[in-house]
Amino acid sequence: MNEITYKRNGDYLIPNIQLTEQKDKKKQIPLGKYGRMRKQYLQEHRKPLFHSLLLAEKLFLHLLEIDKTANRRMEQIMKDLKKAQTQTPPDKMKQQMEWVGYMNNLKAQAEEIILAELIYS
């Protein structure tokens, strides 16, 4: 078991606890949209899990994995939704605005699935 050292601050002893340094700070990957959404959800609704991951120094890895998984899942769901559509999509060259609306609709459906499966679970 590790010996914890303390420093005196007035009448109190404060433990000298520090997080370990992250390796390869230059290669540190920023969190994407879904990683940040998961972090906010954990902070607001799953506080014990958030603090457990934070103290174990696994929070960033967890958020990074959620972000990567959500992006891969988004691509897969979009492909599946395109195949499952019974109606033919609007022509991208002739009906640009209809095509954009169609794609936005598919993206909204896929994102709703991802939020339920990965972010808010």
Helix (H) or strand (E) holding 6: strand 6-9
15: β partners: 6
**Taking a C-beta distance cutoff of 8 angstroms, is the pair 73, 81 a contact?**
no
pLDDT tens string 57-114: 899 999 999 999 999 999 999 999 999 988 888 999 999 999 999 999 999 999 999 9
pLDDT reported for residue 24: 56
SS3 13: strand
Structure tokens that stand for 96 in this block: 């640009």
pTM for this one?
Answer: 0.76
CA distance 99 to 95: 6
Strand, coil or helix: 15? strand
